[in-house]
Amino acid sequence: MVRVRIAPSPSGNLHIGTARTALFNYLFAKKTGGEFVLRIEDTDLERTSQEYVKNIFDSLKALGLNWDEGPDIGGPYGPYSQSERFNLYPEFAKKLLLSGFAYECWCTPEELEAEKELATQNKQAYVYSRKCIGAPRGEGAPAIRFNVSKTQKAFHESSMLTFNDMVKGELTQDTDLIGDFVIMKSNGTPTYNFAVVVDDMLMKISHIIRGEDHISNTFKQILIYEALGEALSAPEFVELYGPPQPLPQFGHLGMILAPDRSKLSKRHGATAVSDFVEHGYLTEALVNFVALLGWSPSDGQEIKSVDEIAADFRISEVSSSNSIFEYDKLNWMNSQYIKKMGIETLKAALRPYLAKYDLNELTDAQYTRLVEITREPLTVLSDITSDAAYFFGAGVELEPEAKDALNGEVLAEFAKQAADWDFDEEALHEKLDGFRAYFKEQGVKPKDTMWALRAAITGRTRGADICAVMAILGKEKVLARVEKAKSQAAL
Choose, from 168, 220, 266, 445, the residue flagged as catalytic: 266
Nearer to ligand GLU, 209 or 309 (CB): 209
Q: State how far the Cα of 25 lies from the Cα of 37, in Å rounded to an integer.
A: 9
To ligand GLU, the closest distance from the beta carbon of 134 in angstroms equals: 32
The CA distances from residue 223 to 203, 216, 369, 375, in Å, are 18, 12, 64, 56
To ligand GLU, the closest distance from the beta carbon of 315 in angstroms equals: 15
Q: Give the CA dihedral 327, 333, 339, 344, nearest 10 degrees.
A: -80
The CA distances from residue 119 to 113, 122, 123, 177, in Å, are 10, 5, 6, 13
Nearer to ligand GLU, 89 or 353 (CB): 89
* Cβ atoms of residues 206 and 249 within 8 Å: yes
To ligand GLU, the closest distance from the beta carbon of 450 in angstroms equals: 56
To ligand GLU, the closest distance from the beta carbon of 466 in angstroms equals: 52
Nearest to 296 by CA among 273, 32, 288: 288
Nearer to ligand GLU, 214 or 347 (CB): 214
Nearer to ligand GLU, 196 or 362 (CB): 196
Q: State how far the Cα of 297 lies from the Cα of 312, in Å rounded to an integer.
A: 7
To ligand GLU, the closest distance from the beta carbon of 201 in angstroms equals: 13
Helix (H, G, I), strand (E, B) or coil at 489: coil
Q: Which residue is nearest to ligand GLU (CB)?
A: 41
| Alpha helices for 170-292 (secondary structure H) | 192-202, 215-233, 235-241, 273-279, 283-291
Nearer to ligand GLU, 210 or 454 (CB): 210
To ligand GLU, the closest distance from the beta carbon of 152 in angstroms equals: 21
The CA distances from residue 423 to 42, 426, 432, 468, 476, in Å, are 61, 9, 11, 9, 10
* Amino acid residing at 4: V
* Cβ atoms of residues 222 and 247 within 8 Å: yes
To ligand GLU, the closest distance from the beta carbon of 82 in angstroms equals: 9
Q: State how far the Cα of 461 lies from the Cα of 453, in Å rounded to an integer.
A: 9
Nearer to ligand GLU, 10 or 280 (CB): 10
Beta strand 3-6 with 35-38 is parallel
Interface residues with ligand GLU (CB under 6 A)?
7-9, 41, 196, 210, 214
What is the widest separation between alpha-carbon atoms in the chain?
Answer: 105
- In angstroms, what is the C-alpha Rg of the chain? 32
To ligand GLU, the closest distance from the beta carbon of 182 in angstroms equals: 17
Tally Cβ neighbours within 10 Å of residue 375.
21
* Amino acid residing at 448: D
Nearer to ligand GLU, 191 or 374 (CB): 191
Q: State how far the Cα of 359 lies from the Cα of 286, in Å rounded to an integer.
A: 28
Q: State how far the Cα of 174 lies from the Cα of 171, in Å rounded to an integer.
A: 11
Nearer to ligand GLU, 68 or 483 (CB): 68
Nearest to 431 by CA among 475, 370, 377: 475
Nearer to ligand GLU, 49 or 385 (CB): 49
Residue 266 is a catalytic residue? yes
To ligand GLU, the closest distance from the beta carbon of 192 in angstroms equals: 6
Phi, psi dihedral angles at 379 (to 5 degrees)? -95, -45
Q: State how far the Cα of 290 lies from the Cα of 271, in Å rounded to an integer.
A: 12
Give bridge partners of residue 165 from the DSSP assignment.
Answer: 169
Report angle CA 216, 106, 197 to the nearest 5 degrees: 35
Catalogue the active-site residues: 266
